[in-house]
Structure 1
């Protein structure tokens, strides 16, 4: 009887790697020492990569928007200014620094008596829309902005929309009636960063994703918000003068000067 060999054979073991790297050999390291050194270097590389990744993520987190500044998501069509500036109240408005001395609510007839505002270089703005809200929150968006304006004792929010006679520009003027000049100044200062997560609602629609510029002006216990854009939504070019546009729309502040005169008796 012949004896047959089994069909299975023992698998040959893969030979261990040759830990005999020329550069390490030149350093006088034996294969076992070379293997240990390579393992230590690999572990160190993993740790360094992990630390670097953590630092990058942390840095990105630092630049992430403050959740409080994002506020509530704006409704479709709401925009925030790409460029913004704010100014404190001039001394001329000290007589109306407190609503206790200037308690009469403003009216549409008072604020919007002039349907045309004239600027320099033949710039003319025509009034297209106007409204006064006693619920200031309805004129704004952004949780933090709405909260700060409410805490500032806002009782009125007037908004007016204007379009230039040549149809090239549109602007909005907003006036907030607050309790005193202190909270008015604080709001203007806050808006330097707060405008990224809260702003006024447009009384007339701006072009979708339009480039806009904004400004806030403390005027005694009032705050005026100016909002500017080209009607095509494009960024201003060499022939555009947004500074002149801002001055033209700020002519809507004239009724506040009349209030100062009424209280002081001087022009």
Structure 2
């Protein structure tokens, strides 16, 4: 008699009774607002990416995986760089975009060609700035030669030191109708490469480190919606920070484009430096 060797069992017969009915798993809507990740400075988009990465890898709860995922999505901020308390009490923008220096600022590509320090009057001499239907009134100014004093992240302080920051000038504004608030910060750096690198690096790290409003000048409500942009101009970097005075997100009646352009009129001081140096670079 020939014995047929037994092999591995085949797939189950779909027509055979299953014996026990499987329970259907209810689909849950993911919650992308995770308090701990919010404290770490991650936006909801970044939180969603982090959860996806963690779910695929199966190690979301592992601290090493969390740290790796944070760096993978482009935000190299970790809790040790700034405390959760600092993040929760310091306003920061909800959106940011950085722009490198246009060629027209080539004459002031290096601070060597433009060595005279700026004054608060140079940058904030105009008390009223207008663009479209927006009118801004200057409410305060502050000039610091210690650039680390104007920000709340040690990582950003280190980056400013590497960029050779010698001055940080801040001006705060409120619109004439009381609807908007804004701050403009101008940083005097070593060269264009440093300015470009700073405004571009903030694309990934702005939620983990940002400029402060001068003490004694309440401006942006804690937890309110604000937006920002960074503009390299030769060896200078300008940071625009805008929002509604009530902290609400912009609606159909809000013109944040005109608001941003209005506060950037403070950059006339940089254009005057280009003219003074001349196209030959000095």
**TM-score (ref. length: structure 2):** 0.71
Between structure 1 and structure 2, the one with the greater Rg is 1
Matched, 1:175 2:183: no
Give the distance between the partners of 1:91 and 1:219, measured in 2 at CA: 9
Give the match for residue 104 of structure 2.
92
Give the distance between the partners of 1:54 and 1:180, measured in 2 at CA: 43
* Alignment match of 1:57 (pick from 59, 62, 67): 59
Give the distance between the partners of 2:88 and 2:145, measured in 1 at CA: 23
Residue ranges of structure 2 left out of the alignment (5+ in a row): 1-11, 17-53
Give the match for residue 257 of structure 2.
243
Give the match for residue 4 of structure 1.
none
1:153-190: per-residue Cα shift (whole Å, max 9, x none)? 00000000000000000000000000000111011110
My pick for the range that moved more, 181-190 or 53-62, is 53-62
Give the match for residue 226 of structure 1.
240
Matched, 1:144 2:149: no
Give the distance between the partners of 2:225 and 2:91, measured in 1 at CA: 9
Give the distance between the partners of 1:144 and 1:76, measured in 2 at CA: 17
Q: What are the equivalent positions in structure 2 for 1:28-177 lying under 5 Å apart? A: 55-58=57-60, 61-62=65-66, 64-66=69-71, 68-70=76-78, 71-73=81-83, 74=86, 77-121=89-133, 123-177=134-188
Cα displacement (A) at 1:194: 1.2
Give the match for residue 20 of structure 2.
none
Aligned CA-pair RMSD: 2.5
Answer whether contact 2:138 2:173 (CA < 8 A) is retained: yes
Cα displacement (A) at 1:77: 3.7
Give the distance between the partners of 1:92 and 1:134, measured in 2 at CA: 27
Residue ranges of structure 1 left out of the alignment (5+ in a row): 1-22, 28-51
Q: Which runs of at least 4 in structure 1 moved beyond 3 Å after TM superposition?
A: 52-55, 58-68
Cα displacement (A) at 1:76: 5.9
Give the distance between the partners of 1:250 and 1:166, measured in 2 at CA: 19
Give the distance between the partners of 1:239 and 1:148, measured in 2 at CA: 38
In structure 2, the CA distance between the partners of 1:54 and 1:110, relative to structure 1 (3 Å rule), is closer
